[in-house]
Structure 1
């Protein structure tokens, strides 16, 4: 038996909205410690990694490890029916071929039940190695979203360069180019407005803006985003979801433009 009840049910809707356009289906791996998901987009350029801790649900029950194969566009249709204050419960029997989803209003005057057929999805589980990154940047998530959106007007790629002076985002096309630099400001009163950089060594990498703009759909989940970079390995873009867990996106750098970006 698997059962997970989330008091702030709207978080699950926001979470699904943040990756359903990248990955259409995937396996929710349920265990005693929580729910996890790993899935690559169809072009195998980016990876979505979600981890929701059991402690974030009330109650949470998973009698044995369970894999739930989910079509995310179908699940999105169910979650569009949720009210802003609704409590959500996910439930499935050990051998069931369906996932039951229940919404309750806070006063329990309204209860809605939905059922979604599960899929058999043959998907390799990728081990993500622990990495000591050359640069780890904490910055406001809304600022990152705006930068990616704005620079999308100038080119298809963005070069992200981290130095001790700050983090610079640059994009260029045939006739236009633009650069946006953020400097550290850990002294700002509001923690969510801070920009902090942990730098082992300067790093400059180029990425496809199309994917970064997909990633920023997670902005409603967190006030801050964490960018972790090292030369020649995928960028990690992490949004922490309060006490519940996190969603991380990984994006491979554009190798053909790497040397050019590093030389700027």
Structure 2
């Protein structure tokens, strides 16, 4: 038997919004430690890794490890049927071929349940190696979303250059060139407004704007975003979901055509 309950459906809706544009389907691996999902996007360019800890749920029970393959479009349709303040419970039997979503209103006067067929998905688990990154930047997630949106108007790719002076986001195309520089904040009242840069060595890499903009769909989940970069390895864009887990996106750098 598997059962997981959240008293606020908003979080689950936001998590789904953050991944459903990149993934059509995914396998949720459930164990007593929580729920994990790891999948390449539809064009096999980026990787999405979601971790939800069991202790972040209001109720969590998983008697034996369970893998549930779900169509994320169908799941999104079901979640549209609940209000943000509803309690949502996800249930499945050990060998079930369906999963049930149950929504309860705050006053418990309305209870609705939706059953969805599970899918058998072939999925390879990609071992993500532990990496010591040359640069780690933490910054407000809203600011990162704005930068990605603005620079996508200039070019299909965006450069991220990290030095001890700060981090520079740049794009150039037919319209012209755009550069946005963020210096490390020396003092800030609110931690979520800080820009913090930890650097072992400078890094300059280029990434596809359309993927970065897809990653920023996770902005409503976290006040801060963390960017981890090293030469020749994928960028990690991480959003930490308060008290529940995190969502990480991995994106390989673009190889610039003009590099000799």
Partner residue, 2:57: 57
Shift of 1:110: 1.3
Shift of 1:112: 1.2
Give TM-score, length-normalised by structure 2.
0.98
Is the CA contact 1:206–1:257 (under 8 Å) kept in the aligned structure 2?
A: no
Is the CA contact 1:204–1:258 (under 8 Å) kept in the aligned structure 2?
A: no
- Structure 1: 5+ residue stretches without partners: none
- Following superposition of structure 1 onto structure 2, how do residues 1-264 of structure 1 map, counting pairs within 5 Å? 1-256=1-256, 259=259
CA RMSD of aligned residues (A): 1.1
Is the CA contact 1:19–1:48 (under 8 Å) kept in the aligned structure 2?
A: yes
User: Does the residue aligned with 1:228 lie in a helix, a strand or coil?
Assistant: strand
Is the CA contact 1:5–1:58 (under 8 Å) kept in the aligned structure 2?
A: yes
- Structure 2: 5+ residue stretches without partners: none
User: Does the residue aligned with 2:44 lie in a helix, a strand or coil?
Assistant: coil
Give TM-score, length-normalised by structure 1.
0.96
Larger mean CA deviation between 7-16 and 245-254 belongs to 7-16
CA distance in 2, matches of 1:193, 1:185: 9
Structure 1 runs of 4+ off > 4 angstroms? Answer: 257-260
CA distance in 2, matches of 1:123, 1:201: 36
Question: Number of paired residues?
Answer: 260
Shift of 1:175: 3.4
Larger mean CA deviation between 3-12 and 201-210 belongs to 3-12
Shift of 1:258: 8.6
